[in-house]
Structures are given as C-alpha cells and as structure tokens.
Amino acid sequence: MKTIKHLLALFFALVAATAFAQFDHSHKTWDDLLKKHVTYVSNGNASQVSYKGFATDRAQLKTYLDSISAVPEATYKSWNKSQQLAFLMNAYNAYTVELILTKYPNLKSIRDLGSTFSKPWSIKFIKLFGKDVTLDNIEHDMIRADGVFNDPRIHVGVVCASIGCPMLRNEAFIAEKVDAQLDDGMKRFLSDKSRNRYSADAKKLEVSKIFDWYKKDFLKGHKGFASLEATLGKYADQLTDDVAARAEIKAGKVAITYLDYDWNLNDKK
C-alpha cells in the first residue's frame, strides 16, 4: 500500500513539475487583459486602467495569478534573469490590479486600502514560492535586492495604480523585450510633462518624487546610471525641446526639484 502511495505521489510530482516547466513566458493571459483594459493617454506617455473591465474579467485574472502562484521557487531560479524580471514585474502589476478589485469601485486611491497599522503594500495577500508575501516583498526584497537585477529602470516597470505612477503598459513584460520595454518606459515617463519637465522660468528640472524616494538606486552605476543627474541627462531630449537646456541637463548643471505625487487611482471612468 505504501509503495502504491509512493508511486502515486511521485507521478503527481512529475506531472506538476512538467506543468511548472511549461510556464507561459509570453504571459499571454495577462497580456490579453492589458490590451483589453489599458488605454494610453497623453500622447502615449501615460495610461488609464479600466478596473471595471478587469472586474468583469476577474476570473481570467485569477487564472493568471494562479499560474504565477503555482511556480516553485526552484523552477523560478532555473530561468534566466530576463525571464525572472519579467515574471516578477508582471506579478507585481497583476496583483496590484487584484488588490484594487478587492474594494473597487469604493476607493479613490490605493492608499484607501491601508489601515492605521499597515499600508496596502504590506498586506500579505499574495502566494508566491509557497509563501504568503506582500507587494513590498516582491518589489524591495526580490526585484530591488542588491546583486540580483541591478536595474533602476524597474521603477517605471512596477506600477502602484496611481496617476503619479509611471504608466501601466498595455502589454506584458516578456524576457525577449524586457530591456527595450524598460527603456521605452523611461522615455515615456520622462516625456509626460505633468510628471517630469524642465521649467524654463525657474531653469530647474521638476521631476517625479519617484526619483527622490529611490535616488540611491540611480547612484550605483548599474545600467550606466551613475547618478540621478546622469539619468536625467540621458533622457534630456524627453524633458525639453530647448536645445540649450538639453545641453545643460546632459552636463548635469540643472538643479533638480520634486513634484507632488498624485495618489488618485489611474482609473478610466
């Protein structure tokens, strides 16, 4: 009897391992949902999310989240870095949408989901690698962990469901394109004058608080970003049409100030 049970357990383990090994790295289910429910605005430099539409397709979203949760840590570790990064950023964004849906439409901001003692990013509602984790765990302990991905551009990849955030793309991150997608995300974010701009009157850069909160990520020299000034200099063409000002920004000679952050939900009404 024990032998039969042992063989059955081994059989189901092999079946599960095969299923996990065949994880869909195109993230098609999530990609389909994004294409259906995310609309670009502001000349393609921002986006609005139809949470009402996501609520209608919540079963499909749950199917995708279940596929994320089913991946064993050992399988995840066997993937290349691009596959891992795409997986984690998609997981973060999809679970953020799911978190919003737990109270939608009765909220105006993701911060409405917090409490006196906890923030929404600290809620343990995610099952990942066999553990109960939070959005903060995915972003800070996995994606931003030193020596793992070392890419400050992830801050335009993970999206907090707010107008002040970088745009949620209308496509999933995939390993083959993730580097180009992140660079495109930086260009779009820094092209949106409501969140990042050069003030000709003040002769200053007025940029998102994201660059203040995560400044240290842009100081490590990873991906060619040796400083915040160097980062903004790289994207000077997106920040202003003023040729002389671009040269000053690229030279790191323009003072940097930070704009107030808009925490209102990035909802498409």
Helix or strand (DSSP H, E) at 244: helix 243-250
**Tens digit of each residue's pLDDT (9 = 90 or more) over 177-224:** 999 999 999 999 999 999 999 999 999 999 999 999 999 998 887 877
Mean pLDDT of the chain: 92
The pLDDT of residue 219: 87
| CA 189 – CA 166 distance, rounded (Å) | 6
| CA 131 – CA 36 distance, rounded (Å) | 31
Average pLDDT on 53-61 reads 98
Encoding tokens for residue 118?
């906890």
What is the pairing mode between strands 204-207 and 255-258?
parallel
**Tens digit of each residue's pLDDT (9 = 90 or more) over 130-182:** 999 999 999 999 999 999 999 999 999 999 999 999 999 999 999 999 999 99
The pLDDT of residue 90: 98
Predicted confidence band of residue 43 (pLDDT cuts 50, 70, 90): very high
| CA 86 – CA 30 distance, rounded (Å) | 12
The pLDDT of residue 17: 46
Phi/psi-derived region of residue 262, left when phi > 0, alpha when psi is between -120 and 50, beta in every other case: beta
Predicted confidence band of residue 225 (pLDDT cuts 50, 70, 90): confident
| CA 138 – CA 157 distance, rounded (Å) | 13
Phi/psi-derived region of residue 268, left when phi > 0, alpha when psi is between -120 and 50, beta in every other case: beta
* Cβ contacts of 51 within 8 Å, gap of 6 or more: 37, 97, 100, 101, 104, 105, 265, 267, 268
Residue 19 has pLDDT above 50, yes or no: no
- Other Cβ atoms within 10 Å of 152 Cβ, number: 24
Residue 144 backbone phi and psi in degrees, to 5: -90, 0
Residue 9 has pLDDT above 80, yes or no: no
pTM recorded for the entire structure: 0.90
The pLDDT of residue 12: 43
| CA 103 – CA 113 distance, rounded (Å) | 8
Mean pLDDT lowest among 66-70, 88-92, 136-140, 224-228? 224-228
Q: In 3-state terms, what secondary structure has residue 25?
A: coil
**Tens digit of each residue's pLDDT (9 = 90 or more) over 98-139:** 999 999 999 999 999 987 778 999 999 999 999 999 999 999
Average pLDDT on 64-71 reads 98
* Cβ contacts of 111 within 8 Å, gap of 6 or more: 119, 120, 263
The pLDDT of residue 52: 98
The pLDDT of residue 21: 53
What burial letters (b/e) apply to 232-255, b meaning 16+ CB within 10 Å?
A: bbbbbebbbeeeebbebbbeeebe
Its sign, for the CA torsion 208, 95, 173, 153, is positive
